[in-house]
């Protein structure tokens, strides 16, 4: 299914194809737990940035593998960029930033990122 989403101020907008939002990952690492992020990973080809490339700011920590991109105006991280275990480029979509999605209706999977 195709979804649109973005940041709070709407400067960053994207479109993404995700088959099923159930199984979104609730990670407890220092970044995700503080943001309350729910993640779905998709291949880069299923993601299109529609607007706001110039508004994105990149933050990396720990092993500097994931590009945590957030809106420089409102501070919302609607997606991150990185490589999957096989080296393929992926997008980590913050499901909470998808338009018209009720996250309370989704089943989630806990991930212990704190202890990696």
For position 84, what pLDDT does the model report?
84
Quickly list DSSP for 51-84.
E-GGGEEEE--TTS-SEEEEETTT----EEEEE-
Q: Are 56 and 70 in contact (CB under 8 A)?
A: yes
- Tell me, yes or no, if the pTM score tops 0.85: yes
For position 47, what pLDDT does the model report?
98
For domain 2-115, give its CATH number from 2.170.150.70, 2.60.40.10, 3.10.129.10, 3.10.20.340: 2.170.150.70
For position 116, what pLDDT does the model report?
79
What residue ranges do the domains of the chain occupy? 2-115
Chunk the chain into consecutive blocks of 10 residues (it has 116) and report each block's average pLDDT, rounded to whole numbers. 97 97 93 91 97 92 82 95 90 97 95 87
């Amino acid at each position: 299914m195709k979804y649109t989403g973005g940041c709070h101020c709407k400067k960053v907008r994207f479109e993404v194809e995700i088959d099923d939002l159930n199984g979104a990952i609730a990670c407890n690492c220092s970044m995700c737990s503080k943001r309350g992020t729910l993640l779905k990973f998709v291949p880069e080809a299923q993601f299109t940035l529609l607007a706001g490339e110039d508004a994105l700011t990149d933050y990396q920590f720990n092993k500097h593998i994931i590009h945590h991109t957030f809106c420089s105006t409102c501070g919302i991280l609607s997606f991150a960029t990185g490589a999957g275990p096989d080296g393929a480029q992926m997008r980590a979509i913050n499901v909470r930033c998808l338009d018209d999605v009720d996250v309370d209706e989704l089943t989630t999977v806990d991930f212990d990122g704190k202890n990696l």
